[in-house]
Structure 1
Amino acid sequence: MSTKVDTLMQSIETWLKQLAAELEEGHTRGFLDFLEAMGRFHQYSARNVALILQQRPSATLVAGIKRWNELGRRVRKGERGIAILAPSLKRVEVEEEDGTVREEKKLVGFHTAYVFDVSQTEGKPLAPSAENSPEGPALYARLRAACPVPVREGLLRGGVHGQTDGRGIILAADLSAGDRAAVLLHEWAHVLLHYGGVEPPVTVKELEAEAVAYAVGRHLGLSMEGSRDYILHWRGTVEGLETSLERIAGAARRILEAYGRQPVPEGSCLGALERAQKARGVAA
C-alpha cells in the first residue's frame, strides 16, 4: 500500500480507539455524530465516513469531481479534496468444477480517491432533499411498506415498544406515528443483522440495532431523542467496534435503499419534492 493509504488507515485506527474510549466512559456524542454522518453518506463504508468527518466535519453532501460535473456543478479552484479509500480490483480467472473458466474481480488492496463537499462546488443549484422532510403517518407508512417482513401493531407487555422473531415485526399500538417509525427501524435492523447467522451478545445486538435506527432516522428527519440513553445503556463491550460499524453501515444502506424504492403517496410534500428532484435529474 502507498504511504498515503497507510496514513489514512492509521488515522482510522486512531479514531476508532478514541471512539471506543469515549463509549467506555459513557460519552455518546462522538458516536451519535458519526451515526448522523453515516446516514448522510450511507453509500460509503464506515471507514470512509470516518475519514470524511475527520477532514471536513461540516460536510453534508460529497461526490467525486466527475459526479459533480454530471450534476452541473464544478469544484472551485484551489479546493482541497477529502481523501478516502477506494478498492483496488484485479481481474482473475476462476475455474469451476465443470472445468469452465470465468473471470471475477478480486480485491487486492486500496488506493486513495478524493471527494468534495457541495460547499466546495459552484454551479447549478441542487433540488432540496425529500428525505429530510418527515411526515409522521406518511413516513411510517412508507417504511412499513418497504420492510421485507410483515409489520403489524398490537398489544405488547408493559414498556416494550417493539419486537421481532426475524420473520415479522410487532409494534406497540399506542405509539405515535413518529415513534412507531423509529421503533420499526430498530426492529428492522435486528431482522437484517441478528437472524440466520452468528448471534452476538445482547449488548452488541441492541447497540447495533439502535445505531442503525439512529443513522437512518436522523437522515429521514426523525428526532430520535431516546437513542442517546438507549445506546448508553446498551453500549456493553466495544471490542470489535470496527466490525460493528461496518455492519451498521451496511444495514442502514439496505434500509434506505428499500425506502427509496417505495412510491411516495400522492399529495405528500415528500412526493412533491421527490418528483421535482427527478424531473430535474438531480440525485443526492
Structure 2
Amino acid sequence: MYEQQLPIEEWKAKKQAELKETIAAQKSVLQEVVQDGQRLADYLYGRGRLGSHITSGNAALVLQTLPQARAVLTAKDWDKFGRRVNKGAKGIPQLVRVNGYYNVGSIFDVSMTYGNKPYPIP
C-alpha cells in the first residue's frame, strides 16, 4: 500500500540522474532539430502552436514525444481550467525552476485530459 521511502542520499542521486538525463535529452533533440531544414520548420511551427509559456528545450521534448501537441500544462494547471488528466497518462518530462533550482516536472497535452471545458489557447 505504501511505498518504501529511499534514504536521502539515494533520493538525491536519483533526482540528480533524472535532471542530467532530461538536460541531455533536450540537448540531443535540439541538435537533431537543426540538422535538417524540414525538421526545423516542423519544430518552429509546433513551437508556435504550443505558445510562449514553454522553453525551447521543453518544447523540443514535447514535440519529439507528441508531434501534434496543441496545449501543454501541468496536471495542477489543467485542474484550474476544469480538465482532468486521464488515469494512467504518462507526463512528458520538462525542466522547471523552483526557488532557484532546476527540477524535472511533467506536463500533459490536452489529448491526455478529459472534461467538458475548453482548453486555453496560447
Instruction: Decide: shared fold, TM above 0.5.
Output: yes
Give the one of 1, 4, 24 matched to 1:10: 24
After superposition, where does 1:78-227 map in structure 2 within 5 Å?
78-89=88-99, 107=100, 109-126=101-118
Give the C-alpha shift of residue 71 in structure 1: 1.3
CA spacing shift, 1:18–1:283, aligned 2, 3 Å: closer
**Cα deviations across residues 5-53 of structure 1 (Å, max 9, x unaligned)?**
111111122123223332xxxxx11111111122122211111111111
Corresponding residue for 1:71? 81
Shift of 1:121: 0.7
SS, match of residue 87 in structure 1 = strand
State the shift of 1:54 in Å.
1.7
Q: TM-score normalised to the size of structure 1?
A: 0.35
1:32 to 38, 41, 53: 41
Bigger-Rg structure (1/2): 1
What one-letter code is carried by the residue in structure 1 that aligns with 2:64? Q
Q: CA deviation at 1:62?
A: 1.0
Corresponding residue to 1:21 among 26, 29, 35: 35
2:9 corresponds to: none
Judge conservation of contact 2:71–2:120 (CA < 8 Å) in 1: no
Q: CA deviation at 1:68?
A: 1.0
Structure 2: which amino acid aligns with 1:76? N
SS in 2 for 1:124: coil
- Specify the SS of the correspondent of 1:35: helix
Distance 2:72 2:34 in 1: 26
Supply the distance in 2 between the matched residues of 1:117 and 1:51 (Cα, whole angstroms).
12
Name the CA distance, whole Å, in 1 between partners of 2:115 and 2:33.
37
Deviations 1:41-77 (A, max 9, x none): 2211111111111222221111111111111111110
Q: After the TM superposition, which residues 255-270 of structure 1 pair with which residues of structure 2 at under 5 Å, given as runs?
A: none
Cα distance between partner residues in 2 of 1:116 and 1:16: 20
The one-character-per-residue Cα deviations of 1:181-214 (angstroms, maximum 9, x if unpaired) are xxxxxxxxxxxxxxxxxxxxxxxxxxxxxxxxxx
Q: CA RMSD in A?
A: 1.7
Query: Is the 1:71–1:124 Cα contact (8 Å) retained in structure 2?
Result: no
Tell me which amino acid in the other structure corresponds to 1:30.
R
Report which structure shows greater RCO (CA 8 Å, sep ≥6).
2
Aligned match of 2:120: 283
For 1:40 and 1:30, locate their aligned partners in 2 and report how far apart those are by CA, in whole Å.
15
| Number of residue equivalences | 106
TM-score by length of 2: 0.77
Q: Which structure 2 segments of 5+ residues have no match? A: 1-14
1:125 Cα deviation (Å)?
A: 3.3
SS of the residue corresponding to residue 2 of structure 1 reads helix
